[in-house]
Structure 1
Amino acid sequence: MRVIMFTREDDATAVVPAISFIDCQVECLKPIPASYAAVGGADVVMVDARSDLMRARALCQLLSGPMDCGPIILVLQDGGAAVVQPDWGAADFVMSQATPAELGARLRLVHVRAPESETIPEDRIEAGDLVIDTTAYTARIRGTLLDLTYKEFELLKALALNQGRVLTRQALLDEVWGEDYIGGSRTVDVHVRRLRAKLGTEYDHLIGTVRNVGYRLDISEQQ
């Protein structure tokens, strides 16, 4: 079993000591956008949520969208399980001090019940009348080319990849601007407003606002 763990630690045993007793291959990756493409080759993805639950939630929501990602297990400290909700997208959680037997059982169970992932073309994303070409960096509505900046394009792509799923402002900041971006979430609001303007009055409603949470692209709202 191949496991990818998103963590700031260099060694997985610093996150879950019991993992040293489990027969699996574990690769630690920094939780930054450049690392996310690696999840396609993992049987299980673990997210270190011990120190920052909100960033862990944002990462789970990104990875559990329509990406080629295995089931996600959150690693929590005592008390962390109380805030985890189904909309995070995690398949299970484990406490950092779990025994080897418990950790092994959770890994096996989520691996067994993981559904087959649909293959998604890497260079083309379709969401109703919206077609995004990630190779040419173009987006079209009913064949009409949208004049987007790079950040607007990346924001629209992130929403389209997760169509129907609410993405928090923090998740969008991490995905489009990077985890080290020091600006506030208002940056996302400004770019969403510009995107809606460029989509035009017929399609601006495709990017919905979920009050106090974030945004989603929903083709069911397409007229």
Structure 2
Amino acid sequence: MKNVLLASDDVHTLAWMRDALSRLDVEAIEIPPAEIKARLASLNAELIVVDGGRSPEVLAGIVESSAAEGGDTHLLLVIEPEALDALRLPVRMPSDFLVRGSSAAELAARARALLWPGEEVASQEVIRVDDLTLNLATYQAYISGEALEFTYLEYALFMFLVTHPNRVYSREVLLRRVWGSDYFGGSRTVDVHVRRVRAKLGPEISRRLETVRNVGYLWRS
């Protein structure tokens, strides 16, 4: 069993973290973010899940510098949607991130990938459609074995539609589900990301990503 630290000052975020990590063979230890620097080395944790809020780089830097003093700690940052553009993950330690509002299953999948890298991915975490392979645990997509270079939001939008097939979602719903409830940009950003996703998928696969006039988008399975 591996030790995992959960660092947040928010009780609801901690409950979400606990729910996610209960699916894995780990012992979860909760600490306030302010105590990361003082306690990280002594707790001998393989992974720390940190509520980074709107300034995740600050906490990421503390974790990275503390981990450098000893141990082999990995980092999983939880961030607000508006922090995406400025996010810079540590370069000296294995790390990943996800946006607040993601499911507990997604948090568990990302934690598993950091704790047990290289393990076989569960079948339900890999979706195959024609020549397309979508790995939900590693946020990777391939067509005929060739990796697709999606940005985070392109992938998140595409993943949401593929995992909720044959149902139309309006731009407003997609903004809430993918960008988060705190996003205040215009709904046309969805159109821009859909165009980019289609261009990267190519003409054959992109036909499944349909536009429903005056309503929104759906993925046809």
Please classify the TM superposition score into its range, dividing by the shorter chain length. Answer: 0.3 to 0.5
TM-score by length of 2: 0.44
TM-score by length of 1: 0.44
Greater relative contact order (Cα 8 A, min sep 6): structure 1 or 2?
1
